[in-house]
Amino acid sequence: MRRFLPTTTSTTSAFLLSLLLAVTAQAAENSQISAADRARAIQAAKQGAIKPAAKKAPARFDFEGEFVNYASWPEVRSFLDEMASRHGFDRAELDALIGKVRYVDTTVQLMKPAPPGKPKNWQAYSARFIEPVRINAGVKFWQENAEALARAEREYGVPANIIVGIIGVETVYGRNTGRFRVLDALTTLAFSYPESPTRAARMAYFKGELENALLFARKDGIDPLTLLGSYAGAIGLPQFMPSSIMKYAVDFDGDSHIDLRNSTADAIGSVAHFLVEHGWKRDDPATIAYPVTVSPSRVWEKFLGAGLAAKFTLAELQQAGVSSVAAPPQNMLYGLIDLQNGSEATEYSLASNNFFAITQYNRSYFYAMSVIDLGKAVSEARAR
């Protein structure tokens, strides 16, 4: 946010200063500042009553890191020994690298489970993604990458609107790819994960991601400390974890190099390839989720929470009291999903195989439905 400094100590300037700060703050969208007051502040700035301070360059890293001597930890030394013996890394170079890694408390705090008792709210979640800024950015992204999107659809059978939806939900088409040093985030989570029932399993997972981050950086000739990403270590426009980059990323722009940070084509092709590898079927119908109503008998509840897969026939679901205004194909399997709305009525849908392929990207009904809805909104805006 740009900061403004008063050139005078008068009451008027102080008032205008506080007012202009409110106008320019990110939360100003919801403020009660009148149009007249906003105009006064802007006019004052133009006349020099309030002068802007010199701009500061944005911080390159978005974290508060602190030095922890990870090199002295036995479990870290054991990990580095394995990297040297299994993958041929120079042990001295690994020691030097780990000496530059920082503990990031922000990643630890963000990994802690949400407080119990807060109800899920699909409408509030959806509103974060199906909004004008993201939709307009999606239209621009589609226009600029129409050829790559069409080619991905031909080669992989994944519609452009689904790819556009995923990249839009993940990073607003590359605007928010994360500014945490990936090595800091992954080392912190691999060896300093917060206390939880799943701590051991999660630490093992992030240790594997740290291993893959080092392998990826070596393979691409990248200084691993220059890799920036999310607080959990996800990288690039599609926010692939390092293991996903190694397994599913593709060179879709034909330059013999995979770059999910700068190549929109590589990001598009990699998203499509990921979905296919996780069960996407090109010949399934374009509609992948059907809104339904459920009967008061609640027999249908046995179909909820049955895992991230389409397992049930339409006849089974209908007999249990699930009905749809549309006519889903009879020859497919479905899952029954619930989209909770806090104190409001829960929404239900029948989800096909391709819906659950999207949940392999992020294991959430809310996420998959937001991808579908954003892709549809961008497609409709593009057609106007």
DSSP assignment string, 66-134: EE--GGG-HHHHHHHHHHHHHH---HHHHHHHHTT-EEEHHHHHHHSPPPTTPPPBHHHHHHTTSSHHH
pTM for this structure? Answer: 0.82
**Whole-number Å distance between alpha carbons of 208 and 244:** 11
DSSP assignment string, 215-246: HHHHHHT--GGG-EE-TT--BTTTTB-HHHHH
pLDDT along the chain (384 residues), means of 10: 33 37 35 38 36 43 75 97 98 96 95 82 96 98 98 98 98 96 97 95 98 97 96 98 98 96 98 98 96 96 95 96 92 97 95 98 97 98 94
Provide the pLDDT for residue 40. Answer: 39
* C-alpha gyration radius of the chain: 25
Provide the pLDDT for residue 67. Answer: 86
Q: Which position has the token pair 């020859």?
A: 331
Provide the pLDDT for residue 118. Answer: 77
Q: Which position has the token pair 């992989």?
A: 156
Annotated catalytic residue, options 170, 209, 211, 301: 170
Neighbours of 251 (CB within 10 A): 15
344 a catalytic residue: no
Provide the pLDDT for residue 61. Answer: 55
Give all domains of the chain, ordered by start, each with its CATH number.
4-52 (no CATH), 63-118+178-234 (1.10.8.350)
Q: For the chain, how long is the longest CA-to-CA vector?
A: 76
Provide the pLDDT for residue 223. Answer: 96
